Amino acid sequence: MKFFVDTADIADIKEMADTGLLDGVTTNPSLIAKSGRDFMEVTKEICDLVDGPVSAEVVALDHETMMKEAETLRKIADNVCIKVPLTIDGLKTCKKLTGDGTMVNVTLCFSANQALLAAKAGATFVSPFVGRHDDNGFDGMELIADIRRIYDNYDFGTEILVASIRNPVHVLQSARIGADVATMPPAVIKGLFKHVLTDKGIEGFIADWEKTGQTIPAS
């Protein structure tokens, strides 16, 4: 499963990229606003930090203006992935852009039927929001499982990009189901490394090593 980080914070992206485990980045207008920086400038900087897809979202709601915004965004870098909402105009835009070879992430997906439409429109990625789904009394992981079954039934090439991930359990469940990508806040990615027994093991090894009085010489 690919790991994307969901942030517009350059320091966080660089830290995640330095692990060698980062496959891409997702942003949205809310994350850009939180960064307090110019949208085009921060998107370009992110694209320079990672080799994988960087989702940059249009803000227009009509197809014609979406296309104009997408034309501007895809000039930023070759790895820009245009992010559009799951609406009729959004899917019209998706169909047009993917037909030209542009990566498209269809976002704000909350039903398997919507995901089916995104795949038929040629989406590179579809982003079902599991956390927000759970918040409203639905089972976010059941949604991911339904989309996986449907896509496998028809051999769709659209990748399932699980979004609105709140905790490491969401990541584990997504991997079990066979989702293609998980996009997470930096804190959730860091949480994947954590285990109390790992910490205890390190403490024990260090304590035993200190008793030897030895050091490993630097080269």
- Domains along the chain with CATH numbers: 2-194 (3.20.20.70)
What is the CB neighbour count within 10 angstroms for residue 186? 16
What pTM value is reported for the model? Answer: 0.94
Apex CA 96: angle with CA 73 and CA 106, to 5°? 65
Residue 2 parent element (H or E): strand 2-6
Active-site annotation holder among 83, 95, 96, 194: 83
**pLDDT 10s per residue in the chain (219 long)?**
999 999 999 999 999 999 999 999 999 888 888 888 899 999 999 999 999 999 999 999 999 999 999 999 999 999 999 999 999 999 999 999 999 999 999 999 999 999 999 999 999 999 999 999 888 999 999 999 999 999 999 999 999 999 999 999 999 999 999 999 999 999 999 999 999 999 999 999 999 999 999 999 988
Gap between the Cα atoms of 158 and 125, Å rounded: 5
Residues 181/187/193/197 CA torsion (nearest 10 deg) = -140
Q: Note the pLDDT of residue 194.
A: 93
User: d(Cα 140, Cα 110) in Å, to the nearest integer?
Assistant: 9
DSSP 129: B
- Catalytic status, residue 75: no
Predicted local confidence at residue 12, as pLDDT: 95
Query: What pLDDT score does 63 carry?
Result: 98
